[in-house]
Amino acid sequence: TQLLEQSPQFLSIQEGENLTVYCNSSSVFSSLQWYRQEPGEGPVLLVTVVTGGEVKKLKRLTFQFGDARKDSSLHITAAQPGDTGLYLCAGAMTTDSWGKFQFGAGTQVVVTP
């Protein structure tokens, strides 16, 4: 079982639409990251959130960390084909060694023109 549950597993939308993906857990995390991974490549870090309730914006991407630091969401406004990829959340547990992260299984996003 995954410590971090991501939903949905797969999302297909048209260019210009909005989407939200979720990352949920029953555990508390000291920080949480979002990555995007393209086929044949390693994940690329998008954002790190560390404070409960924190909201960060990166152009058309909005990231939110839950008040209790157990969950997070990623919202994309006016999606573009370049947003296609596997979105992964990763959390650092206070009980783990510094720098070790637990990853969710990912949400595959496909944006068609």
Which residues are at the interface with another protein (CB under 8 A)?
Answer: 2, 4, 31, 33, 35, 40-45, 48, 50, 88, 90, 92, 96-106
Q: Which CB, 5 or 17, lies closer to another protein?
A: 5
Q: How far is the CB of 44 from another protein (least distance, A)?
A: 7
Q: Which CB, 82 or 99, lies closer to another protein?
A: 99
Q: Which CB, 33 or 72, lies closer to another protein?
A: 33
Q: How far is the CB of 70 from another protein (least distance, A)?
A: 17
The whole-angstrom distance between residue 69's C-alpha and the CA centroid of its chain comes to 14
Quick check: 35 and 90 in contact, CB under 8 A?
A: yes
Provide the strand spans (E) within the chain: 5-7, 10-14, 19-24, 29-37, 44-49, 55-58, 61-65, 71-76, 85-93, 102-103, 107-112
